[in-house]
Amino acid sequence: MQEQLNQKLSQFIDDELDSHQALSLLQSVQNDELLKEKLRRYQIVSQVLKSSEYSPLGTDFSDKIHQQIRQEPTYFMPQKKKPAIRWQKAALAIAASIAIAAVWVSSKVDHQKFGSVETVAQSTQPTGAANNARFKEYLQAHDNALYVNSMQTAQPYARVVGYQQE
């Protein structure tokens, strides 16, 4: 078991794991301090072997990144109708991946992991222009407070998120 893990760590550093295996390994590393330290040692060895140079990084490097992410301000962007907990988990997983990838100096970013961003962008495309115009008129007739919002009052059509009933 331990040998398998060591083998996987080595393959991970040499970029020989596919994205699923790499993600699974990163999750194991995240919960295991010894494994984290081992990965760090392997990375140093790999870096020194490849370039004869070494850029020292503190062991709390990823913790500091986590801390900075937590202190980021909240942006009030339109939200998709999905449970927040799933986003939190996804954000944590991505943050952990980024942090460890930053330690891994010779890493190459696997862009496929960020495919979900494209899905969000697609799902927030406005529905038909005529329907949006009608939605905007309903909003105007509904409440005075909507006049304060430049998005609804100034743009020709309100940008709405539409989805069909299941």
Per CB under 8 A, 130 contacts other proteins:
yes
Q: Name residues contacting other proteins, limited to 75-94 (CB under 8 A).
A: 75-79, 81, 83-85
Window of 25-33, 58-66, 108-116, 135-143 that interacts with other proteins by CB under 8 A = 135-143
Pick the closest to residue 107 from 3, 6, 4, 22 (CA basis).
Answer: 22
Would you give the DSSP letter of residue 111?
Answer: G
Per CB under 8 A, 162 contacts other proteins:
yes
Residue 24 vs 131, nearer CB to other proteins? 131
Min CB(119)–other proteins separation in Å: 17
Compute the distance between CA of residue 116 and CA of residue 22 in angstroms, rounded to an integer. Answer: 18
Handedness of CA 74, 80, 84, 86 (dihedral sign): negative
Per CB under 8 A, 141 contacts other proteins:
yes
Compute the distance between CA of residue 114 and CA of residue 16 in angstroms, rounded to an integer. Answer: 20
SS3 71: coil
Q: Name residues contacting other proteins, limited to 49-78 (CB under 8 A).
A: 74-78
Contact residues toward other proteins (CB under 8 A) are 74-79, 81, 83-85, 127-128, 130-131, 133-135, 137-145, 147-154, 158-165
